[in-house]
Chains A and B, each alone.
Chain A
C-alpha cells in the first residue's frame, strides 16, 4: 500500500462543475502539500496546510489530521484547470508524493 493515496486517478468534468480530489496518507506529517502540474512539466505549489482549511480563488484545500485525509476542491471549474494535481505528505524536509490525479475540464 502506498503511503499517500489519491483518488480518483482520472477525472473528466464539464466546465462549471464542482470538483473534489481526495488524498489519504498513512505517514506522520508536518504538512500536506497540493501541487499542480500542467503539460510541459513545471510544478506549482497550490497549498501547504497542516490543519483546517485554506482558500485561494476558486481553490479550497481541507485537511483532517485525525482521519489522515485531505481534499482539494475546485469551484466553477474551467478548462484552464486541466492539469495533474498531486498531493504530497511532508515530514520536515522530505515529501512523499501521491500518484496524481489527471483532471480534464471540457468546455
Chain B
C-alpha cells in the first residue's frame, strides 16, 4: 500500500525551539508539499519541491524552511517556533507520471506553548 508517512502525529514544543517535521513517501514521486490547515482558513501551501535539493516558496513561507536531500524525504523546519505556528501540518506528494494524483500524509498536529 503506497503511502506518505509523517513522523509524528502530535507534537508539543516550546516557543523558540527549532522544530523538524519529517515526511517520507514510498512512491518515488517527484513532487512533495507541505501545507498547514487552520480553522476558517483551510489548507495553505507553505513550501513545495519538484526534485531533490529543489524548493519553492508557497503562499505562507515566512517562519519556515525546508530540506529535500533525498527524493523520498521532505522536511519542514520551524527555525524558532512561535505560538502562531500552532496548527495541523500536512505533507503530500504527487507525480506527473501518475497524472499529478495526490497522496496525503495523516498530518502532524503541532502545539507551540
Contact = CB atoms under 8 A, between A and B. Distances in A.
B88 A31 contact: no
Contacts of B107: 40-43
A42 B102 contact: no
Contact of B100 (A30, A40, A43, A86): A30
Q: Chain B's interface: helix, strand, loop or mixed, by majority?
A: strand
Given A93-B31, A93-B50, A98-B42, A43 B99 contact: no
Interface residues on B, range: 20 to 34
A43 B45 contact: no
Given A41-B90, A42-B105, A93-B48, A31 B43 contact: no
Interface of A: 30-31, 33, 35, 40-45, 48, 86, 88, 90, 92-95, 97-100
Interface of B: 31, 33, 37, 40, 42-43, 45, 48, 50, 88, 90, 92, 94, 96, 99-107, 109
23 contacts: A31-B100, A40-B106, A40-B107, A41-B37, A41-B88, A41-B106, A41-B107, A42-B104, A42-B105, A42-B106, A42-B107, A43-B90, A43-B104, A43-B107, A45-B101, A45-B104, A48-B100, A86-B42, A88-B43, A90-B100, A95-B33, A95-B45, A97-B43
